[in-house]
């Protein structure tokens, strides 16, 4: 089946202060890459529902964001994370896009889906915005898959250069979930130390600064892919961050476009083996525009 790409132009309306790395041009670059995938089918995202968000976020946190949005306020939620006009709709669309991907994958209309949206999500905790993220979009989709579909085991795979502390805090200890992550270590946000696992359902692989293709692939081949294989998930969700690319300004890994093709191919193979091909990926990081465009193209071609 063809790859379903889910996006929305209103994700461009989230506008952090000038000079912020999480800027609208990121999404434009990702879309340029995806438009080169000839077989892709495109769909507009819809906002995540309150019920979907409440499965992983506290009511008080959601109320705070909703009140600020309704008042048209601009807020600094943490030193890196900003809320302004258009931000909350963009974040709801981002979370809703991953949930729509789950619907498509579980219904069989498209086994693989890629949500090209912003802001990213994997640093957002249940009651706190953090690291450019407002809603923990992939965690929202994982909880939705378990609650709304006949899915009993979900593997969440994260290859963003930064550890997804929010996803981990939300999913840790839930035996229906497996979280696997490769990330530069040490690096922001300071979590994800592989020597201190958060729970038995979490597998972290830390990559030292300057690690490249060999170290990245070995971490997945030796630790993360076998854990996913043994878990035999019925759905694979991916936090697809491309800031491990050698061009990226926010970290020091040395990955290439072909590494993102490779990891997409590996995870798609596991989805085919265990999950009837059901796989949904969502854009996380990636802050060099050329690197992001080329990486999304490579990763999307592997899924397609």
Classify burial at 32, counting beta carbons within 10 Å of its beta carbon; exposed 0-12, middle 13-18, buried 19 or more: middle
Bridge pairing between strands 75-78 and 81-83: antiparallel
- pLDDT the model gives residue 1: 65
Q: pTM, whole model, 2 decimals?
A: 0.98
Mind giving me the DSSP string for 135-188? S-HHHHHHHHHHHHSS---EEEEE--SS--HHHHHHHTT-TTEEEEEEEESS-T
Residue 73 has pLDDT above 90, yes or no: no
- Band (pLDDT 50/70/90 cuts) for residue 71 is very high
> Known catalytic residues?
123
- Per-residue model confidence as pLDDT tens digits over 112-160: 999 999 999 999 999 999 999 999 999 999 999 999 998 999 999 999 9
- Per-residue model confidence as pLDDT tens digits over 103-114: 999 998 898 999
- pLDDT the model gives residue 197: 86
- The chain-wide mean pLDDT, for the chain, equals 97
Residue 299 has pLDDT above 80, yes or no: yes
CA-CA distance, 190 to 165, in Å (whole number)? 9
- Per-residue model confidence as pLDDT tens digits over 84-94: 999 999 999 99
Closest CA to 7 of 82, 113, 130: 113
Q: How far is CA 169 from the centre of its chain?
A: 15
- Band (pLDDT 50/70/90 cuts) for residue 29 is very high
- pLDDT the model gives residue 85: 95
CA dihedral sign of residues 162, 250, 292, 256 = negative
Cβ neighbors of 80 (< 8 A, separation 6 or more) are 130, 131, 132
- The token duo for 169 is 């805090």
- Per-residue model confidence as pLDDT tens digits over 251-283: 999 999 999 999 999 999 999 999 999 999 999
CA distances from 224 to 42, 70, 181, 221 (A): 31, 42, 7, 6
Read off the DSSP letter of residue 232: -
- pLDDT the model gives residue 45: 98
Residue 49 has pLDDT above 70, yes or no: yes
**Cβ atoms 178, 233 nearer than 8 A:** yes
- Per-residue model confidence as pLDDT tens digits over 184-234: 999 999 999 999 989 999 999 999 999 999 999 999 999 999 999 999 999
């Amino acid at each position: 089946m063809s790859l379903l790409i889910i996006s929305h132009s209103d994700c461009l309306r989230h506008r952090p202060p000038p000079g912020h790395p999480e800027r609208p041009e990121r999404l434009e670059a990702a879309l340029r890459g995806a438009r080169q995938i000839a077989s892709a089918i495109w769909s507009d995202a819809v906002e995540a529902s309150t019920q979907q968000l409440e499965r992983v976020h506290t009511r008080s946190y959601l109320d705070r964001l909703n009140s600020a949005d309704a008042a048209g306020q601009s807020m600094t939620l943490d030193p890196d994370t900003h809320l302004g006009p258009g931000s909350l709709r963009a974040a709801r669309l981002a979370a809703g896009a991953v949930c729509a991907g789950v619907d498509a994958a579980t219904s069989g209309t498209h086994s693989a889906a890629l949500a090209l949206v912003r802001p990213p999500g994997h640093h957002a905790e249940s009651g706190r915005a953090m690291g450019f993220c407002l809603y923990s979009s992939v965690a929202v989709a994982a909880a939705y898959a378990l609650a709304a579909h006949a899915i009993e085991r979900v593997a969440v795979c994260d290859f963003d250069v930064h550890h997804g502390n929010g996803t981990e805090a939300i999913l840790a200890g839930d035996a229906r979930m497996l979280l696997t992550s490769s990330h530069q270590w040490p690096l922001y946000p300071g979590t994800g130390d592989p020597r201190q696992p958060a729970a038995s359902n979490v597998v972290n692989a830390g990559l030292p600064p300057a690690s490249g293709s060999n170290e990245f692939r070995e971490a997945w081949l030796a630790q993360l892919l076998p854990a996913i294989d043994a878990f035999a998930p019925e759905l694979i969700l991916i936090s697809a961050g491309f800031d491990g690319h050698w061009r990226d300004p926010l970290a020091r890994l040395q990955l290439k476009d072909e590494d993102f093709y490779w990891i997409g191919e590996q995870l798609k193979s596991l989805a085919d083996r265990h999950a009837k091909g059901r796989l949904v990926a969502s854009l996380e990081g990636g802050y060099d525009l050329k690197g992001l465009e080329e990486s999304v193209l490579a990763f999307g071609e592997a899924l397609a």
